[in-house]
Amino acid sequence: MKKIKTAPFMPSEVEVTSTGENSIKIEAYPFESGYAISLAHPLRRLMLSSSIGYAPVAIRIEGVSHEFDSVRGMLEDVAVFIINLKNIRFKIRDESDKVEVSYEFNGPKEIYGKDLESESVEIVTPDAFLATLNEDANLKFSLIVHKGIGYVPSEEIREEVPAGYLPLDAFFTPVKKAVYEIENILVEDNPNFEKIVFDIETDGQIDPLSAFKDALSVMYKQMSVFNSELDVDLSSAQSEDNGGETKQLLQKIDALGLSARSHNCLERAGIEFIGELILMSDEELKNIKNLGKKSLEEIKEKLEELSGIIEKMGAKELEALRKRIEKIKS
């Protein structure tokens, strides 16, 4: 007979592995059957559509009136120059949403992304090619670099750019790849649980872990409409693992390396996770049945090693931890 449940199994393991300069693998498990894809698919879409990036949205080239024009002494036509420009990825150095940068180059010269570095912008694709100038060429141009999400066609920007500028299609998304696989995993002799394996790569404007965390944040904020309108408590879902800290508190008490006497005493009291001890007051610890003074001191010493994590947690985080443990044990 299938075991009757009153709540779905709560996943507790998250592993992050670097697979390259701007790529990571994130594994999360174990999920009930069907739950993994329910979370993985929207997170993938949010990473691709809502991650913040930077892109040139307008360009002004001295002596050029339209994108099918040419520049004297430059091998590439303006249309090709603009295509090459879109392959160069910018990053605004301060917290500004928009900056204007101007450049002047004399030939002979091959221009690459690294040549566009300035006090205002960083170039994360320094080896991307832009243009070739011959010995009598003089190229002057200005760019408006904007912060944004997703893709915005030039037609929607046209009315907002200053006079003399040509609007550009703006591809802000810094996520180059966001794919996932769903794998089966064995839990308590049940092979039908699932693991999500994300493979994420960015162009360097943002690191891939930040892109994933931003997607989580967007998901929580979108879901908060139900919190405000329907009085649904999403606070427990909003407690994110921060550098593996929550994961550490969800480890079994075995991980503390307690003596057999202390461990058995906690086990008889129904305490399974380190987080349960964190949530207990000194008085509650003292009142654990058959817990002697020596065992109490040993437990407090072990918890003292986790003081750094505990100090970072406010009332909201502690309450979220409590709810998560209750769900896992239910």
Residue 127: HSE in the Cβ half-sphere, 13 Å Cα cutoff: 1
- Measured on CA atoms in the order 107, 112, 118, 121, is the torsion positive or negative? positive
Residues 57 and 167 in one domain: yes
Say which residue, 184 or 309, is predicted with more confidence: 184
Confidence (pLDDT) at 328: 80
- Residues 82/165, Cβ–Cβ less than 8 Å: no
pLDDT per residue over 38-64, tens digit each?
999 999 999 999 999 999 999 999 999
- The torsion region of residue 107 among left (phi > 0), alpha (psi -120 to 50) and beta comes to beta
Give the pLDDT mean for 100-122: 96
In the structure, what pLDDT confidence band is assigned to residue 260 with cuts at 50, 70 and 90? confident
> How much is the pLDDT for 1?
46
Q: How many domains are there within the chain?
A: 3
Mark which of 224, 243, 258 sits at the end of a domain.
224
96 and 76 belong to one structural domain:
yes
Residue 134 has pLDDT above 80, yes or no: yes
Whether 254 has a pLDDT exceeding 60, the answer reads: yes
Q: When comparing pLDDT for 81 and 273, which is higher?
A: 81
Q: How confident is the model at residue 2 (pLDDT cuts 50, 70, 90)?
A: low
Statement to judge: residues 143 and 278 lie in one domain: no
Instruction: Provide the CATH number for the domain around residue 296.
Output: 1.10.150.20
- Are residues 167 and 57 located together in one domain of the fold? yes
pLDDT averaged over every residue in the chain:
88
- Please determine, for residue 236, whether its predicted confidence score (pLDDT) is greater than 70: no
* 38 shares its domain with 179: yes
| Residue 187, amino acid | V
Do both 84 and 134 map to the same domain? yes
Q: Is the peptide bond preceding residue 153 cis, with omega within 30 degrees of 0?
A: no
Residues 57 and 109 in one domain: yes
Residues 58 and 82 in one domain: yes
Give the pLDDT of residue 229: 53
Q: Which range of residues forms the domain containing residue 309?
A: 233-330
Same domain, 132 and 276: no
Residue 200 pLDDT:
97
Q: Both 241 and 289 in a single domain? A: yes
Average the pLDDT over 222-245 and give the result: 56
Q: How confident is the model at residue 231 (pLDDT cuts 50, 70, 90)?
A: low
Three-class secondary structure assignment of the chain: CCCCCCCCCCCCEEEEEEEECCEEEEEEEEECCCHHHHHHHHHHHHHHHHCEEEEEEEEEECCCCCCCCCCCCECCCHHHHHHHHHCCCEEECCCCCEEEEEEEEECCEEEEHHHHCCCCEEECCCCCEEEEECCCCEEEEEEEEEEEECEECHHHHHHHCCCCCEECCEECCCEEEEEEEEEEEEECCEEEEEEEEEEEEECCCCCHHHHHHHHHHHHHHHHHHHHHHHCCCCCCCCCCCCCCHHHHHCCEHHHHCCCHHHHHHHHHCCCCEHHHHHCCCHHHHHCCCCCCHHHHHHHHHHHHCCHHHHHHCCHHHHHHHHHHHHHHHC
Claim to verify: residue 31 and residue 77 sit in the same structural domain: no
Q: Supply the pLDDT for residue 246.
A: 63
Q: Average pLDDT, stretch 228-251? A: 56
Q: How confident is the model at residue 261 (pLDDT cuts 50, 70, 90)?
A: confident
For residue 162, pLDDT over 80 is answered with yes
**For the whole model, what pTM was predicted?**
0.67
**CB contact at 8 A, 105 and 142:** no
Q: Are both 109 and 161 inside the same structural domain?
A: yes
- pLDDT higher than 70, residue 194: yes
Kindly report the three-state secondary structure assignment for every residue of 18-45.
EEECCEEEEEEEEECCCHHHHHHHHHHH
Contacts of 128 by beta carbon, 8 Å cutoff, 6+ apart: 84, 87, 88, 89, 112, 113
Closest among 195, 217, 196 to 206, alpha carbons compared: 217
Boundary (domain end) residue, out of 135, 155, 171: 171
Residue 155, domain CATH: 2.170.120.12
Could you tell me the pLDDT band of residue 232, with boundaries at 50, 70 and 90? low
For residue 212, the domain's CATH number is 3.30.1360.10
